[in-house]
Amino acid sequence: MLRRFSAREGFAEARELYAAGANVTQTLKARYPDPSGFTDIVRVAYDLQSGTYVAALQQPGMAARKQAMARRILSFIDGLPVHSAMEAGCGEATTLSFLVAERPELRWSGFDLSLSRIAWAQSLLRSRDQQAELFVGDLLQIPLVGPAADLVITVHALEPNGDRAPALIAELLRVTGRYLLLVEPDYENAGPEQRARMDQHGYIRGIEAALRASPGRILARAPLGDDVNPLNAATVTLFEREAPQPVDPQAAHLPYAPPGGGEPLSPVAGAWLGEANGHAWPTLGGIPYLLPDGAVVASHLGRLV
């Protein structure tokens, strides 16, 4: 039987690996090969390194590089009817903050698997007086009823997900109003050195094939250029979904739902309550925590508070 990693039981082990300078994700995947524990491995690894991406913005030239990358990404939507945008897997908002700065007129949102990273994202955006609705969610079970933004963006967020491209693309398109813009390493068109590195780390493959099998069309594909790591070069792909869905940029909040979709959740007493399923998901530090393990049975919360 394959060993499965649990975030609750394995956090101390992961913290020791991180303190020793090990690659936490790679080491834990080798020790615990049961794929059902992969999300917990990623969540713990990201939690441990939270804050390092914000700190890296202080490195000479990094902010200018991020600004140039944001402009390059947004150049793909020039002239398109976009009023709202969401970064899926936004981490500490070290890309999102530059996207917001370039297009502040859009309604921005973002989410990540790690609460700690989203807390850092919230702090960074506030320090820059920028607005974006942030929440905690899983890329494979996005806690939204349906389309939540005209444009959904990922920037190296699909990267660690191996052969999961079909499931990830399907879930992202479920919450995309019109355009999906992916900035991800491109295994099929990479050179042999990058492929070897991607194989070693279990990085994503099959993105283009998954998109071509999806209802819609690829509008553009081009190298990002000026990648921080030339052995992790990214391709920008702009995809338009079939039958675009309207998204209200003036809505009071995003259309939150139980992880993976379903009946809408309602804000009640510092939580998000699902009347249909009798469960509530908490808001922590102003951040909706909408992971499957965050739910509590609370069918009477809306009646008594």
Q: What's the CATH number where 219 sits?
A: 3.40.50.150
Regarding whether 65 and 45 lie in a shared domain, the answer is no
The two structure tokens encoding residue 125: 């955006």
Which sign, positive or negative, has the C-alpha torsion 270, 141, 88, 197?
A: positive
21 contact partners, CB below 8 Å, separation of at least 6: none
Tally of domains in the chain? 3
Regarding whether 21 and 74 lie in a shared domain, the answer is no
Q: What's residue 305's pLDDT?
A: 53
The whole-number average pLDDT for the span 123-140 is 98
Regarding whether 66 and 39 lie in a shared domain, the answer is no
Does residue 55 lie within any of the structural domains? no
Regarding whether 220 and 88 lie in a shared domain, the answer is yes
Q: What's residue 218's pLDDT?
A: 98
> How far is it, in rounded angstroms, from Cα 162 to Cα 276?
35
47: pLDDT confidence band, cut at 50, 70 and 90? very high
Does residue 26 lie within any of the structural domains? yes
Regarding whether 120 and 29 lie in a shared domain, the answer is no
The whole-number average pLDDT for the span 96-105 is 98
Regarding whether 139 and 39 lie in a shared domain, the answer is no
Does residue 258 lie within any of the structural domains? no
Regarding whether 65 and 162 lie in a shared domain, the answer is yes
Regarding whether 276 and 152 lie in a shared domain, the answer is no
- Is the pLDDT reported for residue 93 higher than 90? yes
Regarding whether 275 and 189 lie in a shared domain, the answer is no
Does residue 253 lie within any of the structural domains? no
Angle at the Cα of 284 from the Cα atoms of 83 and 24, rounded to 5 degrees: 90
Which sign, positive or negative, has the C-alpha torsion 210, 96, 243, 173?
A: positive
Q: What's residue 299's pLDDT?
A: 82
The whole-number average pLDDT for the span 107-111 is 98
Q: How many CB atoms lie within 10 A of CB 303?
A: 7
Q: What's residue 304's pLDDT?
A: 59
Does residue 198 lie within any of the structural domains? yes
Regarding whether 108 and 88 lie in a shared domain, the answer is yes
114: pLDDT confidence band, cut at 50, 70 and 90? very high
Averaged pLDDT of the chain? 95
CA-CA distances (angstroms) from residue 283 to 149, 227, 259?
21, 36, 15
Does residue 138 lie within any of the structural domains? yes
- Is the pLDDT reported for residue 155 higher than 70? yes
Does residue 246 lie within any of the structural domains? no
The whole-number average pLDDT for the span 251-273 is 94
Angle, in degrees to the nearest 10, between helices 38-48 and 7-19? 50
Regarding whether 148 and 107 lie in a shared domain, the answer is yes
Does residue 169 lie within any of the structural domains? yes
Regarding whether 75 and 217 lie in a shared domain, the answer is yes
**This prediction's pTM:** 0.94
Domain ranges, residue 295: 266-304
Over residues 174-217, the pLDDT tens digits come to 999 999 999 999 999 999 999 999 999 999 999 999 999 999 99
% of the chain beyond a pLDDT of 70 = 99
Q: What's residue 1's pLDDT?
A: 81
Backbone phi, psi, residue 110, to 5°: -165, 155
